[in-house]
Structure 1
Amino acid sequence: MRASCIRRGAIVASAMLALATIAGPLPAAHAQAKEKRVGQKAAVAHPASIDRNGVLILTRSALLALDQANKTGNYTVLRDLGSPHFQTNSAAQLGDIFANQRKQGVDFSAVAVLEPQLTLLPQIEPNGMLHMAGFFPSVPLQVNFELLFEPVSRQWKIFGVSVNLTPGGPQAPETPTGDQPKPADATPPPDAPSIAVQPKKKPKPVKP
């Protein structure tokens, strides 16, 4: 299940994107006007030239940094992994943003051993951001994520992240209320006619 959108968090200097938390929705910073003037075609996203290993490195490094920051209360490393726009937020501000996750004891450590299932393949947005989304199929809680990375000195740096947890594995429906159907009784009623099954007779050998 894909994370629905980049969500409200720490406001960057350009006022375009915020570090994501599980708070209220915020339009994704990578969204731009489809057309700037009449007759000009809108820029579109295109597939990113990144292999499976690159995806694993980026997703795990970002989410594990967030997981460790939530567990220790120290957001310095997470901040250092971000782009210059991301770093306009102090470590203390990041701590305030992720306070709810920290209090809830949200655990993302499963991303260290599981492989992500992508619901949005890596693509380059019109503003040059690397964008991807997906989930880690952990149990009992599944880690859903959406990530944006900004190119800085030929490296992808965290620009925005959205993470939430949903129940993992198949879920049975709730028990319906009201009268429940009784299981069928295999015992025939007393007045039901009995049916005897006659064994097949063996054919008699034919004498020569």
Structure 2
Amino acid sequence: MNMSPISPRRPGRAGVFLSAALLMLAPAVPAAAQSGAAAPAPVAAMPVPGDLELAKLIWSTMTAIDHANQSGNYSVLRDISSPAFQIANDPSRLAQIFASLRENRVDLSNSLLLAPVYNGAPQVGQGNILRVRGSFGLRPTAVAFDFEFQWYTGKWRLFGVSIAPLPLATQQPGSAPEVPDSRRRGSQ
């Protein structure tokens, strides 16, 4: 029951333009800082989330997908995702992609009851895309995930997703099963 993954095309020049536009929107240096007074430390342009923030990001993504599956309305999931994800996926395509989860009645809301188990540390890779893989050891079916998030307007937003229900028997205690790497990539 592998799920077709969603992965938009990687940004080209538009991504570079966006970065330049975000730099131009940065606030001016306060007068206190110019006069030599102590100024607050600058916030990282793209912070890698800590454990709690990462879990919240995963839980909110699982919840958004679950709500979309329950309602059949994928427009909110699409709208809270990165612009590249939005361009690559209209709501009807998302409904097709998540059809097997709906048909098999996989309840993703149960993931809120457990902490995610990670397959290694989250990684920020090419194009400043945060990738996190792991699972929720749900019964009777564990759910493995492979999410990619893009930093956009001060938030990590969904960029790519793969969710695969797995029989619990394939999961060893205390470890996360591997998510089948069946992602399709757009041209880079």
| 1:98 to 1:151, Cα distance in 2 relative to 1, 3 A | same
Structure whose alpha-carbon radius of gyration is higher:
1
Distance in 1, matches of 2:162 and 2:6, equals: 12
Alpha-carbon offset, residue 108 of structure 1: 1.0
Structure 1 match to 2:8: 12
Change (3 A) 1:13 1:128: closer
In structure 2, what is the equivalent of residue 147 of structure 1? 147
SS of the counterpart of 2:56?
helix
Query: TM-score, normalised to structure 1's length?
Result: 0.58
Q: CA contact under 8 A between 1:147 and 1:162: conserved in structure 2?
A: yes
CA contact (8 A) 2:145 2:163 kept: yes
Match of 1:67 in 2: 66
The percent identity for this pair of structures is 33
Alignment of 1:83-162 (within 5 A): 83-88=82-87, 89-162=89-162
Kept after mapping to 2: 8 A contact 1:83/1:157: yes
Where 1:64 maps in the other structure, the secondary structure is helix
Structure 1 residue 71, shift from structure 2 partner = 1.5
SS at match of 2:128: coil
- Mapped to 2, the partners of 1:11 and 1:110 lie a distance apart of 25
* Aligned length, in residue pairs: 135
1:53 corresponds to: 52
**Which residues of structure 2 form unaligned runs of 5+?**
13-46, 172-188
1:142/1:9 CA distance change after superposition, 3 Å: closer
8 Å Cα contact 2:8-2:159 kept in structure 1: no
Over residues 66-92 of structure 1, what are the superposed CA-to-partner deviations in whole Å (9 max), with x where a residue is unaligned? 111111111111111210011112212
Output the CA distance in 1 between the equivalents of 2:9 and 2:94: 15
Give structure 1 stretches of 5+ with no counterpart: 17-47, 172-208
Structure with more relative contact order (C-alpha pairs < 8 Å, separation 6 or more): 2
Alignment-mate amino acid for residue 77 of structure 2: L
Q: CA RMSD in A?
A: 2.5
Inter-CA distance 102–15: structure 2 relative to 1 (3 Å threshold): farther
* Matching residue's letter, 1:118: Y
State how far apart, in whole Å, the 2-side matches of 1:152 and 1:130 are. Answer: 12
| Distance across 2 between alignment mates of 1:153 and 1:15 | 15
- DSSP 3-state at the match of 2:138: coil
Distance in 2 separating the partners of 1:139 and 1:85: 34
In the TM superposition, what is the alpha-carbon distance from 1:169 to its structure 2 partner? 5.5
CA shift at 1:12, angstroms? 3.1
* Native 8 Å contact 1:140 1:169 kept in 2: no
Q: TM-score, normalised by structure 2?
A: 0.64
